[in-house]
Amino acid sequence: MVKRRKIDQRMVVISLDAVGARDLAYLKTLPNFQKLRAQSGYCDHVESVYPSITYPAHTSIVTGKKPLHHGVVNNLQLQPGRKSPDWMWQKHFIHGKTLYEAAAEKGYVTASILWPVTGKSGIRYCVPEIFANHWWQNQVTVSATNGPVLYQIELLKKFGHLIDGIKQPQLDNFVYAAADYTIRKYDPQLFLIHLTDVDTNRHLYGLDAPQIKEALERHDERLGGICQALAETGDMEKTTIVVLGDHCQIDTHTVLYPNYYLKKAGLIRATADGKIKDYDFIAQHCDGSCYIYAGKKLKKQMTIMSTEEKEAVMKQLRGCLQKIPHLHEIFSRKHAAALGADGDCICMLEAEPGYYFQNGMEKPQEEVDQMQGERMLATHGYLPTLPEYETFFMMSGYGVKQGEIPKMYLWDEGPTLASVLGVSLPDTDGKIIEQLLK
């Protein structure tokens, strides 16, 4: 039996990773999505963040801020030379207050399953998205040190058999089973759920591969199941259901390696076997875009350099970057910050559609078809204003006024959801979309 609680309303936020506005035509033909949509306030033109990747995007959703203001400017931490850098898994990477903290302060019981950047977040029932990334770690220890132990053990015992690494649809089948169980047993009042079936399948097979329709159909079944669990456990008059995407993807065929050019120009120094010794500049990829950062030593030197000396350093960098083919744009630091990306970079590269970046430096570029390792036939990270690249937002139930909003930004979602919960988020870039509120 659930104890009497301070708050009598509930909100479930379901993020369908890499589901874009372009998927709505098909989603609208599927029964559970269709039913939710008919009761919703929604926006079919939601502009994502820059870089348009999962961790910055999900952090913008829960803080109402652009990446440069919330601090999660990439999925990856900057760890030059590491083949598999750590991701920004933990909450301490986020500057400022999140939706789940504001809700918990008011008395909401919070939960999240695989929502990005929730390691050590204090969310009551939480399975953080994190994986073992060092030889001395295993999945159980990293999960246990980053989220509540007993809850995660309980879910693993019951549903662990559904998981097969990060393979889909197994992973989302686990998330769904765990979410259904959590609603029925703990009835959380703010529940963040992150499903990545479409994202994974787009990376593997391409933007509009037949596997995508199948993944959308599975999402529709999961949505139906979650709605049913909610209906069977609580007051639907007091329940808000939110379904949203974080970014879309585009098809890709070639990987570019900016660090190859930086190394060739002597701006990265490496040992004969390819280990980075030190560097003046380094590229840090976000797939469709790529940050260029200055090394610590050069950064320090630049603070005491004359304008001419600085200009000479930047000229050498520009000359090097201009040799990289298939760049759509090189954004200055100022321009990158104005787009919402990391203002601490030196500059930022945006690839032409079809090309994306990785951190390697052994070769200048590689066709995806020829790749041995992690090949992606579609990806994200590009400018959020690309055509057919928008995502969507819809919510129904308690506190929601039905109707359509012509345009929204991802960072408008946090303040809008906070308003439904009767809480507020400080210093947001986004605004409350009043037209969606009752």
Which residues lie near Zn ion (CB under 5 A)? 17, 54, 246
Contacts of 341 (CB under 8 A, 6+ apart): 50, 51, 67, 68, 73, 289, 291, 331, 348
* Cβ closest to Zn ion, residue 58 vs residue 333: 58
Please state the φ and ψ torsions of residue 73, each to the nearest 5 degrees.
-90, 0
Q: Which is nearer to Zn ion, 246 or 287 (CB)?
A: 246
Closest listed residue to residue 325, CA positions, set 258, 231, 267, 259: 258
Residue closer to Zn ion (CB basis): 17 or 429? 17
Cα–Cα dist 424/101, whole Å:
10
Residue nearer to Zn ion on the CB measure, 38 or 166 = 166
Structure tokens at 315: 């000229």
Q: What are phi and psi of 287, to 5 degrees?
A: 60, -95
Residue nearest to Zn ion (CB): 54
Residue 49 CB, shortest distance to Zn ion, in Å, is 11
Residue 243 or residue 420: which is nearer to Zn ion going by CB?
243
What are the distances in angstroms from CA 26 to CA 195, 208, 346, 407? 18, 12, 41, 21
Q: 161-192 burial, b if ≥16 CB within 10 A, otherwise e?
A: ebeeeeebbebbbbbbbbbbebbeebbbbbbb
Shortest spacing between CB 245 and Zn ion, in angstroms = 8
Least separation in angstroms between CB 196 and Zn ion: 7
Shortest distance in whole angstroms from residue 15 CB to Zn ion: 8
Nearest-approach distance from CB 338 to Zn ion, in angstroms: 23
Compare residues 54 and 110 and give the one whose CB is closer to Zn ion. 54
What is the smallest separation between the CB atom of 284 and Zn ion, expressed in angstroms? 18
Q: Which is nearer to Zn ion, 200 or 259 (CB)?
A: 200
* Cβ 229 vs Cβ 377: under 8 Å: no
User: Does residue 56 contact residue 382 with C-beta atoms inside 8 Å?
Assistant: no
Task: Considering only the C-alpha atoms of the chain, give the largest distance between any 2 of them, rounded to a whole number of Å.
Answer: 72
Closer CB to Zn ion, 54 or 259, in the complex: 54
Burial of 392 (0-12, 13-18, 19+ CB in 10 A): buried
Query: In angstroms, what is the minimal distance from the CB of 306 to Zn ion?
Result: 43
Residue with tokens 């990477």: 93
E strand or H helix at 309, and its extent?
helix 307-321
For residue 239, the cross-strand partners are 10
In whole angstroms, the minimum distance from the beta carbon of 59 to Zn ion comes to: 11
Cis peptide before 325 (omega within 30 of 0): no
